């Protein structure tokens, strides 16, 4: 069957032989995507093969999923217990946030297998030629990183073979980062390649447990004429990788770029194709990283993994609450501890406030780690019900440690921190606050109250200022600040 490519509008279906910036049919801009089409013979209803095997859902036998550990319990938690064979996972994040470092560390852990703590040998080059390819004969050149040990006689142990495809770096650059991480290396193959046909040929030759693509924006298919990163190339290459993952039962990790707005670059179909969408986020000025899941077909989307960026890579944080509070100065005005949820995981954090008089007619409002619009509402409501003169004060709010809190449970601790800073009096010792503040000063309940309380008690907080105890902002402020 002869295949050609045409440009199809994703909004109205208009077809064009060449790319057009604006669709002549519906008027949408940049909606024409290069798509492969083929000459298919017309088939009438009577000519169709109706011998279709149908199965009742009740007759399908359940099978236990054997997951593969990434070597990080925090990473496994977000994935739902580990990597599912045949699944395809998309990981996105800002440049320099640690996506490649995290995946290289996972690749080393999986490739290490049962080697244990063994000495690492210097890098050697292996060059082999393969004639099997989706499009014809290709030459496969891979940089092989392997440790001495029991598996040295069987380098292609199917349980511990990992193929790391880098389209943005050379093999030497990856080796430099691997040396910095200082982890024992096993059957880890490095392939600097951008052609998806060559990548699939390499994967078919090695039959790896895990295939890592860094990144999907650099991968191109010879079937399309578009440049790397275009909508058509992203969709076609993702579909090819998806078919390989399902057929070979190989776990595939794909690194995706983000736009300046923070969303994943490329068509939305990229997120629909994959089984899980993970986002690695954090602050450039702080070392902590949060791994969140926005889609997961094999687990919950409420789990969050916490990591700390160090000289030797990402280190998982088993007790993030204690980390975020270890530098806290108790009995200091403007400091309030809150119990927030990162996904479904409770984390204790410190909200700080600073109030200073201003000589300017419009006071300054600066917010870090909290939603600015919500904090504006909280300050306005607080000024109304507490009778405090906040109009002549510059107010600065921040979550210590670089943590970002987007849930409304941070309203009450932020309000208490502002009042404490404004009157220059610290809150009662041992208080943990959380709750949503309404426009009229009422306190509204938040989700997962029991989980928040248990985490706070574990770290020694036994006095709680929450909506189930106080109904209004005035009552909560009076108790937390003045002890009444």
In sequence order, which residues have a C-beta less than 8 Å from that of residue 30 and are 6 or more positions away?
21
Cα 399 versus chain centre, distance = 21
Q: Which of 71, 67, 69, 73 is nearest to 320 (CA)?
A: 73
Pairing state between β 188-191 and 138-145: antiparallel
Residue 69, Ramachandran bin (φ over 0: left; ψ between -120 and 50: alpha; else beta) = beta
As annotated, the binding site includes 93-100
Q: Give, to the nearest 10 degrees, the angle between helix 99-112 and helix 171-181.
A: 80
CA-derived radius of gyration, the chain: 27
As annotated, the binding site for ATP includes 93-100
**How many Cβ atoms are within 10 Å of 374's Cβ, its own excluded?**
19
Burial class (CB within 10 angstroms; exposed 0-12, middle 13-18, buried 19+) of 122? exposed
Tokens 């106080």 belong to: 470
**DSSP code string of 38-107:** E------GGGS--------GGGSPP-----B--S-HHHHHHHTSSBPTT-EEEEEE-TTSSHHHHHHHHH
């Amino acid at each position: 069957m002869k295949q050609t490519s045409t440009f199809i509008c994703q909004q109205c279906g208009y077809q064009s032989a060449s790319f057009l910036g604006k669709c002549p049919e519906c008027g949408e801009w940049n909606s024409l995507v290069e798509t492969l089409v083929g000459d298919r013979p017309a088939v009438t209803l009577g000519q169709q093969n109706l011998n279709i095997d149908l199965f009742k859902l009740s007759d399908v036998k359940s099978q236990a999923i054997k997951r593969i550990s990434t070597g990080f319990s925090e990473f496994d938690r977000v994935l739902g217990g580990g990597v599912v064979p045949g699944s395809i996972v998309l990981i996105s994040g800002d440049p320099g946030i640690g996506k490649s470092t995290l995946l290289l560390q996972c690749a080393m852990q999986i490739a290490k297998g049962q080697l244990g703590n063994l000495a690492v040998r210097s890098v050697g080059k292996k060059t082999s030629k393969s004639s099997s390819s989706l499009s014809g004969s290709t030459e496969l050149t891979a940089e092989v990183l392997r440790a001495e040990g029991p598996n040295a006689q069987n380098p292609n142990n199917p349980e511990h073979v990992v193929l790391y495809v880098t389209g943005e770096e050379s093999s030497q650059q990856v080796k430099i980062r691997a040396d910095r991480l200082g982890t024992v290396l096993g059957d880890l193959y490095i392939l600097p390649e951008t052609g998806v046909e060559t990548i699939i040929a390499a994967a078919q030759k090695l039959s790896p447990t895990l295939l890592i693509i860094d990144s999907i924006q650099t991968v191109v298919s010879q079937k399309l004429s578009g440049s790397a990163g275009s909508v058509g190339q992203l969709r076609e290459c993702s579909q090819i990788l998806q078919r390989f993952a399902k057929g070979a039962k190989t776990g595939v990790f794909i690194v995706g770029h983000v736009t300046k707005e923070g969303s994943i670059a490329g068509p939305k179909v990229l997120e629909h194709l994959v089984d899980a969408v993970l986002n690695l986020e954090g602050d450039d000025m702080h070392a902590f990283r949060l791994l969140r899941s926005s889609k997961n077909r094999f687990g919950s989307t409420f789990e969050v993994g916490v990591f700390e960026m160090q000289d030797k890579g990402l280190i998982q944080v088993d007790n993030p609450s204690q980390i975020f509070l270890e530098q806290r100065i108790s009995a200091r005005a403007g400091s309030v501890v809150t119990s927030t949820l990162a996904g479904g995981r409770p984390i204790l954090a410190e909200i700080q406030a600073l109030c200073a008089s201003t000589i300017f007619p419009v006071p300054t409002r600066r917010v870090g780690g909290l939603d600015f619009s919500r904090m504006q509402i909280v300050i306005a409501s607080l000024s109304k019900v507490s009778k405090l003169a906040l109009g002549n004060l510059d107010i600065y709010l921040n979550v210590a440690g670089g943590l970002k809190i987007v849930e409304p449970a941070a309203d009450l601790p932020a309000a208490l921190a502002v009042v404490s800073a404004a009157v220059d009096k610290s809150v009662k010792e041992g208080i943990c606050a959380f709750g949503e503040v309404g426009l009229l000063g009422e306190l509204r309940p938040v989700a997962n109250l029991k989980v928040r309380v248990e985490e706070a008690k574990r770290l020694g907080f036994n006095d709680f200022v929450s909506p189930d105890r106080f109904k209004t902002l005035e009552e909560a402020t009076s108790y937390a600040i003045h002890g009444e």
